[in-house]
A = this chain, B = another copy of it.
Amino acid sequence: MEKVTLIVNGMSCGHCVKAVEGSIGELQGVKKVSVDLAKGKVDIEFDANLVSLNTIKETIDDQGYDVK
């Protein structure tokens, strides 16, 4: 299991939190996802054998946010 903290720009409200947490949480291999809206950070715990960090980043990007 790996842990990563991504810096994500553009999340502005509770809907954005749900959009990111919901979409990442649905990915197979993701165990935990937690958005800190004030800091613009997303903590993710995932199994790298099941899902790649790139897939996670692309999923956030697909929701309309900018992953640093």
Which residues of A approach B to under 8 Å, CB–CB? 10, 12-16, 19, 64
Copies per complex? 2
Give the shortest distance, in Å, between A4 (CB) and chain B (any CB). 24
Q: Which residues of chain B come closer than 8 Å to A14, judged between CB atoms?
A: 64
Residue among A10, A12, A13 having the largest count of chain B Cβ atoms under 10 Å = A13
Q: Which residues of chain B come closer than 8 Å to A15, judged between CB atoms?
A: 13, 15-16, 19
Q: Using CB atoms, name the residue of chain B closest to A14.
A: B64
Q: Which residues of chain B come closer than 8 Å to A19, judged between CB atoms?
A: 15
10 residue pairs bridging A and B, Cβ less than 8 Å apart: A10-B13, A12-B12, A12-B13, A13-B13, A13-B15, A13-B16, A14-B64, A15-B15, A15-B16, A15-B19
